[in-house]
Amino acid sequence: MDDERWMSRAVELAHRSPRSSSAFAVGAVIVGPDGVEIARGWSRDVDPMVHAEESALLRANVDLRQATLYSSLEPCSKRSSRPDATCTSLIIAAGIPRVVLAWREPDLFVTCEGVALLTAAGVEVVELPAFAERARAANAHLL
């Protein structure tokens, strides 16, 4: 799997996110075991409340039990707009076995436990800190 290529794409997508004073700009890409993109999304791409991972999952209408999800930010574990549909819970429900992220969500809005919850559910979580600065740049308006 070409983690650097796909994380670079997720970070690029984060920069497409409309700016918000109350939410991060995030990009996400879902890639199949064959290395082919299944779906992508970014924060607020289809409605003002949608998260990047959620958007990508909504577009993915195939079995994801061998896919990898790339996210420029740790998937959310708490969400005021849709408390029953956190990105972490959606990823687990989809059966995605591997998540790659650029940086962990800072405690700006909530304390995120996405990595801990994914790991507890048996999901392999890989962090690529070399992409963290680029992912943070998409959120300079908040930080």
Report the alpha-carbon distance of residue 134 to residue 143 in Å, rounded: 13
| Residues acting as catalytic residues | 53
Count Cβ atoms within 10 A of the Cβ of residue 37 and give its class: 0-12 exposed, 13-18 middle, 19 or more buried: middle
CB contact set of 102 (below 8 Å; sequence gap of 6+):
7, 10, 11, 71, 72, 73, 127, 128, 129, 131, 132, 134, 135
Q: How many CB atoms lie within 10 A of CB 90?
A: 21
